[in-house]
Structure 1
Amino acid sequence: MTNAKRLHSLRRAFSMDDGSVSENSRLIASRNDNNHGYQSVPITPKTIARFRSADDASDRLPIGDGRRARLNWRSSDVFTNRDAQYDADANNLFGSGIGERVWYDNYTTIDWLHDSVKDAQRRKKVHSIKGIRGKAIEALDALQGWLIVGIIGVCTAVIAYCVNIFESRLFDWKEGYCTTYWLWDYSFCCRDVDLEDTCPTWKTWSEVFRHTSVDSQNIDHLVWTVVAVILATVSCLLTLTTKSVPPNTNQNDNLPKKVTYLAAGSGIPEVKVILSGFVLRGSLGLRTLIVKAIGLTLSVASGLSLGKEGPFVHIACCVGNVLCRLWTKYGNNEGKRREILSASSAAGVAVAFAAPIGGVLFSLEEVSHFFPPKTMWRSYFCAIIAVITLKMLNPNGTGKIVVFEVSYHDHEWKNPEIVIFLLLGMLGGVYGALFCKLNMMWSKSFRTLNFIKKNPLLEVLGVVLLTAIVTFRNPYTRLSGPELVGELFSECSNDVGGHGFCGWEPSVIPGLTGSLFIALAIKIILTIITFGIKVPAGIFIPTLAVGAIAGRIAGLLVQYAFFNNPQSSAFSACHGSSPIECIVPGTYALVGKLFMIQSRLHLSLAVIMFELTGSLNYVTPLMIAILVSKWTADAIEPNGIYNLCIDLQEFPYLETKTTRDFEGQLSHILARSPLAQISTLDVSHSWSLRADLIREKLNLVHDKGYNDGGFPIVRDGLLVGYIAISELEHALDIMVAGHPHFPISELMCQFGPFDDKVIENSSIESFLINQETTDFRQYVDQSPISLSKNAPIALVFEMFVKLGLRYLCVTENSEFFGVVHKKAFLAYLKKEKEKGP
């Protein structure tokens, strides 16, 4: 055979047009049994391999053979490890020019563009099926999203039901137990007893141990404290089992490694980071879900100043993430997975507040990075299913999903009250901003002490002891968070609760407001030092209680003024009515919920309150007060508590909801980026590069702490492609494992078409066997997005935000100049922010 014919045969065997493989591709496999897993010529890395575990993904050492890995994926469920090949089920991604991917490593960014093209290729394959079968497959494909969010809604509601049931029982066991059935809580045990009467079937611990010489109140206090400590301790110990050490991105290995606990806190900062496009391995896993649910039940039952509403969002997203693994459409596409997670977060808020519309707005306003109309409707469907399911389960036995549902249908706000509402809004903004600052000061001072960092259980023990000691003696702080808020929101009438918060006579109001002021101070201090301890903990209910107490105090003071000056012009709208009928302190407590403004949930929180009260009479004053509260909080502290937590934990997060003033050009970022100085893969002389030289470049990147980067492929000064570090390592490891008898210096990596001159001087067999060349082109992004080095920083920001880029190549006069990765851009923004204006 002539050289021309040999060349033509090789080109046919290695065609890039359709990815097909001819009989010539079997030449290597027929001579070496180790290569049976490869299916292209020259030797191509196996398309399927598995990591030992998600935590060991950085090692990139494949285990098993390709056939076994494929079988494991086909029979996979939520408990199995994922395949290393992220695009194993994709259709012709190599031919699309974007290249294939492996699973994203921990603390790396996803490629939104790649996942979008990947889903388009999948849809194209589905739509290519003709006939009735094709229509049925298309319908099932479209139905998958609705089906999975519906299941998520049901599962989230069931988990919320279990948490509420067990939490209420454990909380009441601190005071006593039900003699009828010891598993019942107080409300269910005494459901047929009037509020004013003593419940004969409920035994307090002082009644159980009445034969001792110790004072009965001291016995109750002792048992209250002991049970609280036990519950908080177990919750903390469970949380500590989710310890995670993020990959070190510092060049100095002597610096202490940062430790995070996946089930600690509210989980909303982690959800925000994940939905923005970063990967936090384990944060939404099955183990985190189980620990979070159990730990949350125990921590809330202990009486700590925390809530379960924020963690419900985390739990719902864990449910969504786990269920996504059952559908390859979402399980094998990180971009599509995040659409489901956005809907899941709406379900978490819905089961917490019985507010499906508020849940959708929360997902849009607070956590979601990408929220198309399709995701909005699925979020609403998920939230509706969750609320209906929880309503049917009836966890409180009253038909109400949350215990502080109230109604103000018979009351209208008076014009003079708008002044009080505005003052409450301003006060709420001040408190929200100061809470953020004080909580961060506490976290950066006390929690950075060595003995606290090494022993987080000590902080939990200290906080729960302090909480049990100071809250027991106050009748208001002794209540659970939802019960306290429910009483503060309630009206003062003969058939409704709130009797302990009502000023029936003017002589009662001074003492009542004094007790409420003490409760307010206790709640503020405890909430500041509690939020951030290593237990599952939310911030909604504690701050809602603080605002409701402040609002109730304001309402009582207005009532007191009316008692003493009924003829004042300020109360002209109340002439003919009693202070109890005209002034409703519960409505002031409702406005006081603006103290939650530190979370920056402006519109969603307002809608949540409207859904809870079932009244739209207070829409106008509430919205005006929210604007005042927002302006006040932004003037003092522009960042919400969740964004501050993200900064504190050093999560990679690109804030997109705030305006920024940028100066400079793209070249300024390159001058500061250590990764930009790393050499590229230069294929000017040959499309093949030695594997040992590539390994040296990879080691250099790892030493600099940039595992989320990649290498631009340059030929004669022009940018011809880009390959990410994760894909390059994956291909190298498989290539080396497939050639155990060859030194790495003799292995070649092919990044482009084969040189005709080299092939023409040798036979096909000698070229394929002796060169030991492995094709890496399937992992190369052949269409990287680039921008001129003179582009303004504002344009760079918009491209990273709007396009979801993982990296941005930089050119100068059409020639390659450098590359900016998302993490390098984040580091640049952080330095600019620290410099100040």
Structure 2
Amino acid sequence: MVTTPRDSFDSLISENSNPQITEPEPPSSPRNVFRPFTDTINRAQALASAALTDDSEFTYNHNIFYDDKTTIDWMHEFAKERQQRRIAWDTPGVRGQALRLVNTSRRWIILIGTGIAVGLIAACIDITSHWIADVRLGYCQNAFYLSRDSCCSGIATNDPCPGWIEWSSSYFLRYMMYTFICVICATSASVLVITYSPHSKLSGISEIKTILAGYIIKGFMGKWTLLIKSLGLGLAVGSGVWVGKEGPLVHVACCCANLLIRYTSREHNEAQKREILSAAAAAGISVAFGSPIGGVLFSLEQVSYYFPDKTMWHSFVCAMIAAVTLQFVNPFRTGKLVLFQVEYDRLWHRFELVPFAILGIFGGLYGAYFIKLNLKYAKMRKTTFIKNFPILEVAILALITGLINYPNVYMRLQPSVLLSYLFQECNASTPEALCNLDNWSQSVALLLSACGLGFLLASYSFGVALPAGIIIPSMCIGALFGRAVGILMATWHETNRDFFLFASCPAEGTCVTPGVYAVVGAASALGGVTRLTISIVVITFELTGALNYVLPIMAGVMVSKWVGDAIGGKRGIYESWIHVLNLPYLDNKDDEPVPVVYVKEFMTSIDDLVVIQTNSSDHVNTIDSLQSTISSCTFQGFPIVNQDTILQGYIFRSELKFSIDKALLFDHLTGETECVFESRDAEDSSCLLLREWVVQAPPTVTSSATLQLVSNMFFKLGLRYICVVDKGKLVGLITKEDLWRLFNSDRLKTMAVPILGTVNDESRQGLLHDDV
């Protein structure tokens, strides 16, 4: 039976759904062959009309179709979308033209508004985080609110800036001030998250993936989440804790889109909503990296569950608008979208493919062991006393981070500033330590120590009660290692110009560009931790403009992907956190073979279901009996059968409860009123007719069907449940969460053929679900 989630899902509650269609349905015609879809539309229309009959609690915002912690019915949403289009096209005259215009323009208004909002919010977060990061080191004498770059505009990086004042001439006092501000900002961000919006912590991409797959999480994309995420993100990133803003900007963008959907339309479609959220996710990455195309590919490759061609076009427009808005605001005062945009003029050489491959191996190893260590920290955080003191944990982490960061000149910098230095060719603005080959050993030691310490800090920081991403910290760690390898290669070339590998190098001047190694290392590390490929290459190319180095970047990411999959499996950090958060997510891109298991082995038997019996001479369904049924269980839906257990239909708990509440409140019926689920020749006003709420043709399979068939039905049709019937008789039921639990259980292999037979009662109870 379809049930509500267990305690592990208590923190996940749905957004208000509003599956209304206020237009009346056109008369049926012979061309209407989609009877199940029409029945669904009739139910949605009945709900909408009932909801709008009074100004009481049954308003248009009332969640009457999708309950908390449930999965949307994609078939219903697609059918509703087709019905809306049909109504618009079948309506004649000016009114029909207006409906068509509204249906076409509404989505574009939301997409453009989302792009503008995300660009403005990202600019504010950038300005805030960079100012806080600079205030850790000093302040602008003329205007305290200015960052160092703004205060020292026109002055080279390595030149003295008279307007910028350090906190003290004493190293110890500067050290303490740096650490103090780190602790204050990080703790403030944690207090905001814990007090006002727990949904604001982490990056949010794992939850966004689950939502885009059809799950409902109430409040996750609300106005409080947007506000606290934006404020907390500026504080957390600026504090110096090893977290990034790029992943959380995806969550911020989806919040903007969700609020625009909610406040610009009385009626919206959950499937359309997820298409818009996919486009918003692309805008989040676009403003994070100044990479509109990379944002679209990131949404396609990482975030989205359903990504048709029109969504790609919508994603591109939304990402472009967001990037243009960010560039118009120009938060860095450079005219560039990101602070670390660089270009390279020197070509690469074939012998460098070997160190590039080494960087790929490092990226794969980093990703695999980062995920393992991060998940161990997450388990420790959930099972020890630390879970009771999340704010104190952040304060101690910030204290340790500040004490570790300051002595290392690289770790002391803002991550985006550090990347800009690591990516650059040697010039007047590059720190001398990165280009002084005479003192290469000290530079390499500092880079490698920062890489190792950053790995430890980032692996713990991602998971605390802060708005936190892992993209920029991973890129920093890879870039630190890559720059160290680049310096070693450059030093080797300078001291051994006659070596045979360097035959293709010019006789004079430099041959190796250490900054390129930093770029390849950053891309490889990001690929290792996320298991992404194409989007990372495009993002890296767009943010650096390194057209000549696309092939080395591709090689590094490819090797990183292979090594990471071989050592740590195919789950990236976001997929791993889906399992940590216990979210009911089924990966439709999983290419692992499905074992041969029959439905009867894992279905929920009819003996464990609560069904509604109709057409029975010795049993009459009344309002009181149905209310008793609803209150006695937590199931989210009820199969309807006759006295011979022949399946007659299916009704959702929310719709049954709503129809009963409406009848008692508006129609003034009593608890003894008979409830009828089937059609009758003559309408009886003394009965509560519930046929309009019943799914007349629920999806079904036989008990001898295979797991492969059932999983394909759930994936490709977007089902919430499947009834199991043999010769028309109901014998069991499967829900989407049943499938999720089965794929994540150890007993799947033991149930596969040739091990036949049914599971015992204890195993069957372990497979009972909580939700669709």
Tell me, in whole angstroms, the C-alpha distance in 2 between the residues paired with 1:514 and 1:188.
32
Q: Which residue of 2 aligns with 1:595?
A: 525
Is this contact kept in 2: 1:108–1:278, CA < 8 A?
A: yes
Matched letter for residue 618 of structure 1: Y
Picking from 649, 655, 676, the partner of 1:727 is: 655
Change in CA separation of 1:310 and 1:185 when aligned onto 2, cut-off 3 Å: same
Is this contact kept in 2: 1:491–1:498, CA < 8 A?
A: no
Deviation at 1:791, TM superposition (A): 1.2
Tell me, in whole angstroms, the C-alpha distance in 2 between the residues paired with 1:798 and 1:790.
15
1:163-312 matches, within 5 Å, as: 163-206=125-168, 216-242=170-196, 261-312=198-249
Tell me, in whole angstroms, the C-alpha distance in 2 between the residues paired with 1:412 and 1:270.
42
The answer as to 2:685 corresponding to 1:768 is yes
Tell me, in whole angstroms, the C-alpha distance in 2 between the residues paired with 1:263 and 1:273.
16
Q: Which residue of 2 aligns with 1:403?
A: 339
Q: Which residue of 2 aligns with 1:816?
A: 730
Q: Could you give the per-residue CA deviations for residues 712-746 of structure 1, whole angstroms, max 9, x where no partner exists? A: 4446443221101221222233334457784x3x1
Change in CA separation of 1:646 and 1:71 when aligned onto 2, cut-off 3 Å: closer
The secondary structure found in structure 2 opposite 1:68 is coil
Q: Which residue of 1 aligns with 2:309?
A: 373
Picking from 675, 691, 705, the partner of 1:749 is: 675
Tell me, in whole angstroms, the C-alpha distance in 2 between the residues paired with 1:737 and 1:136.
36
Q: Which residue of 1 aligns with 2:7?
A: none
| Higher mean C-alpha displacement, 365-374 vs 810-819 | 810-819
The answer as to 2:78 corresponding to 1:111 is no
Picking from 682, 697, 702, the partner of 2:613 is: 682
Tell me, in whole angstroms, the C-alpha distance in 1 between the residues paired with 2:445 and 2:583.
43
Picking from 417, 420, 433, the partner of 1:483 is: 417
Is this contact kept in 2: 1:718–1:814, CA < 8 A?
A: yes
Is this contact kept in 2: 1:69–1:83, CA < 8 A?
A: no
Q: Which residue of 2 aligns with 1:606?
A: 537
Tell me, in whole angstroms, the C-alpha distance in 2 between the residues paired with 1:676 and 1:118.
34
Q: Which residue of 2 aligns with 1:357?
A: 293
1:494-513 matches, within 5 Å, as: 494=428, 496-503=429-436, 505=437, 507-513=438-444
Number of matched pairs = 706
Is this contact kept in 2: 1:285–1:322, CA < 8 A?
A: yes
Segments of structure 1 that go 5 or more residues without pairing to the other structure are 1-15, 20-39, 50-64, 74-81, 85-101, 208-215, 244-260
The answer as to 2:373 corresponding to 1:456 is no
The answer as to 2:116 corresponding to 1:154 is yes
Q: Which residue of 2 aligns with 1:647?
A: 579
Change in CA separation of 1:371 and 1:741 when aligned onto 2, cut-off 3 Å: closer
Tell me, in whole angstroms, the C-alpha distance in 2 between the residues paired with 1:362 and 1:715.
53
Matched letter for residue 185 of structure 1: S
Tell me, in whole angstroms, the C-alpha distance in 1 between the residues paired with 2:55 and 2:418.
57
Q: Which residue of 2 aligns with 1:5?
A: none
Change in CA separation of 1:128 and 1:688 when aligned onto 2, cut-off 3 Å: farther
Tell me, in whole angstroms, the C-alpha distance in 1 between the residues paired with 2:47 and 2:159.
77
Is this contact kept in 2: 1:688–1:751, CA < 8 A?
A: no
The secondary structure found in structure 1 opposite 2:685 is helix
Q: Which residue of 1 aligns with 2:559?
A: 628
Q: Which residue of 1 aligns with 2:511?
A: 582
Is this contact kept in 1: 2:606–2:731, CA < 8 A?
A: no
Is this contact kept in 1: 2:612–2:638, CA < 8 A?
A: no
Tell me, in whole angstroms, the C-alpha distance in 2 between the residues paired with 1:17 and 1:611.
50
Change in CA separation of 1:424 and 1:567 when aligned onto 2, cut-off 3 Å: same
Deviation at 1:563, TM superposition (A): 2.1
Deviation at 1:482, TM superposition (A): 0.2
Structure of greater Rg: 1
Change in CA separation of 1:185 and 1:122 when aligned onto 2, cut-off 3 Å: same
Tell me, in whole angstroms, the C-alpha distance in 2 between the residues paired with 1:134 and 1:738.
33
Tell me, in whole angstroms, the C-alpha distance in 2 between the residues paired with 1:322 and 1:383.
18
Q: Could you give the per-residue CA deviations for residues 189-224 of structure 1, whole angstroms, max 9, x where no partner exists? A: 0112222321111111115xxxxxxxx111111111
Change in CA separation of 1:346 and 1:230 when aligned onto 2, cut-off 3 Å: same
Deviation at 1:130, TM superposition (A): 2.0
The secondary structure found in structure 2 opposite 1:110 is coil
Deviation at 1:151, TM superposition (A): 0.9
Is this contact kept in 2: 1:242–1:262, CA < 8 A?
A: no
Deviation at 1:185, TM superposition (A): 0.5
Is this contact kept in 1: 2:742–2:748, CA < 8 A?
A: no
Tell me, in whole angstroms, the C-alpha distance in 1 between the residues paired with 2:520 and 2:57.
57
Q: Which residue of 1 aligns with 2:629?
A: 697
Tell me, in whole angstroms, the C-alpha distance in 1 between the residues paired with 2:167 and 2:383.
39
The answer as to 2:353 corresponding to 1:413 is no
Change in CA separation of 1:115 and 1:812 when aligned onto 2, cut-off 3 Å: same
1:135-146 matches, within 5 Å, as: 135-146=97-108
Tell me, in whole angstroms, the C-alpha distance in 2 between the residues paired with 1:166 and 1:675.
58
Tell me, in whole angstroms, the C-alpha distance in 1 between the residues paired with 2:285 and 2:26.
49
Tell me, in whole angstroms, the C-alpha distance in 1 between the residues paired with 2:507 and 2:653.
78
The answer as to 2:556 corresponding to 1:662 is no
Tell me, in whole angstroms, the C-alpha distance in 1 between the residues paired with 2:477 and 2:685.
74
Is this contact kept in 2: 1:357–1:608, CA < 8 A?
A: yes
Tell me, in whole angstroms, the C-alpha distance in 1 between the residues paired with 2:59 and 2:644.
44
Taking structure 1 as the reference length, the TM-score comes to 0.81
RMSD, matched Cα: 2.4
Q: Which residue of 2 aligns with 1:798?
A: 712
Is this contact kept in 1: 2:182–2:402, CA < 8 A?
A: yes
The secondary structure found in structure 2 opposite 1:554 is helix
Deviation at 1:351, TM superposition (A): 0.2
Picking from 788, 799, 803, the partner of 2:702 is: 788
Matched letter for residue 654 of structure 2: S
Deviation at 1:453, TM superposition (A): 1.1
Is this contact kept in 2: 1:45–1:774, CA < 8 A?
A: no
The secondary structure found in structure 1 opposite 2:168 is helix
Is this contact kept in 2: 1:489–1:586, CA < 8 A?
A: yes
% identical equivalent positions? 36
Deviation at 1:399, TM superposition (A): 0.8
Q: Which residue of 2 aligns with 1:68?
A: 55
Tell me, in whole angstroms, the C-alpha distance in 2 between the residues paired with 1:691 and 1:565.
90
Change in CA separation of 1:370 and 1:134 when aligned onto 2, cut-off 3 Å: same
| Higher mean C-alpha displacement, 346-355 vs 628-637 | 628-637
Matched letter for residue 227 of structure 1: I
The secondary structure found in structure 1 opposite 2:129 is helix
The secondary structure found in structure 1 opposite 2:744 is helix
Taking structure 2 as the reference length, the TM-score comes to 0.87
Change in CA separation of 1:676 and 1:47 when aligned onto 2, cut-off 3 Å: farther
Q: Which residue of 1 aligns with 2:269?
A: 333
Picking from 424, 427, 449, the partner of 1:493 is: 427
Change in CA separation of 1:394 and 1:476 when aligned onto 2, cut-off 3 Å: same
Deviation at 1:614, TM superposition (A): 1.4
The secondary structure found in structure 2 opposite 1:517 is helix
